[in-house]
């Protein structure tokens, strides 16, 4: 009679460990920071926001969008609070990419990169969105992230999403004579798998729609 109880306890412990691994927060950690500026100003970030080089934002590889961090330069004691709204950096040896405005405030512009202290301050709830659904009972299924009139915007978002997700593609459609470019993720035979990925995307701040997959022409 004890074995089922032991099994349940072990499962709960494993689930708790998995959850703690997913919720790793940079409490007083040191990271190598770099910055990005004019080349990306006005372009879409991975969260779907426009990059503003003068705002206090940052790119990180895994932290959820909306995460707020205090970045401190230990060499001069200057600090800035940033919001994660992008993915990166993707250069070996770098951990976080600051906007030009944030980097300037802590004296990082001249050096390019520096070792900084990072403290977790919480997360804005606004980036978390609800998943919407529009599909028949039969698959396969796919996930729509955004729809643009300008192809470049769709291409920018596709490029960013492709760093984290597989099978990101652009679907061209025409509505009342107007061309639109939809950014889509995946082809799922199992609806539950599509919903699981959609929930992750929504948790990162993307507006997502689970819909029926159609062959790309």
**Quick one: pLDDT at residue 15?**
40
Q: What is the DSSP string of 92-105?
A: TT--EEEEHHHHHH
CATH number reported for the structural domain that contains residue 206 in this entry: 3.30.70.1070
pTM over 0.75: no
Q: Residue 112 maps to which CATH number? A: 2.40.40.10
Question: Residue 137 belongs to what domain range?
Answer: 132-212
List CB contacts of 12: < 8 A, sequence separation 6 or more.
none
**CA dist., res. 96 & res. 190, Å (int):** 35
pLDDT value at residue 24: 55
Rounded Cα distance between 124 and 204, Å, is: 11
What's the total number of domains in the chain?
Answer: 2
pLDDT tens by residue, 79-116:
999 999 988 887 889 999 999 999 999 999 988 899 99
| Regions in the chain scoring below 50 on pLDDT | 1-23
């Amino acid at each position: 009679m004890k074995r089922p109880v032991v099994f349940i306890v072990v499962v709960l412990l494993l689930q708790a460990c998995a959850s703690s691994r997913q919720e790793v927060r940079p409490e007083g950690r040191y990271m190598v920071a770099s910055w990005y500026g004019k080349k990306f100003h006005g372009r879409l970030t991975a969260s779907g926001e426009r990059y503003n080089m003068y705002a206090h934002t940052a790119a990180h590889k895994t932290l959820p969008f909306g995460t707020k961090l205090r970045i401190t330069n230990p060499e001069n004691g200057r600090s800035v609070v940033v919001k994660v709204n992008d993915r990166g950096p993707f250069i070996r040896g770098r951990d976080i990419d600051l906007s030009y405005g944030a980097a300037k405030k802590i004296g990082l512009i001249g050096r390019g990169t520096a070792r900084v202290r990072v403290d977790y301050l919480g997360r804005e709830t606004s980036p978390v969105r609800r998943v919407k659904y529009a599909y028949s009972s039969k698959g396969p299924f796919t996930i729509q992230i955004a729809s643009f009139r300008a192809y470049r915007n769709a291409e920018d978002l596709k490029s960013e999403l492709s760093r984290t997700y597989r099978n990101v593609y652009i679907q061209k459609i025409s509505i009342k004579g107007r061309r639109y470019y939809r950014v889509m993720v995946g082809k799922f035979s199992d609806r539950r798998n599509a919903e699981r990925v959609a929930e992750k995307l929504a948790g990162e701040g993307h507006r997502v729609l689970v819909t029926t997959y159609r062959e790309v022409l």
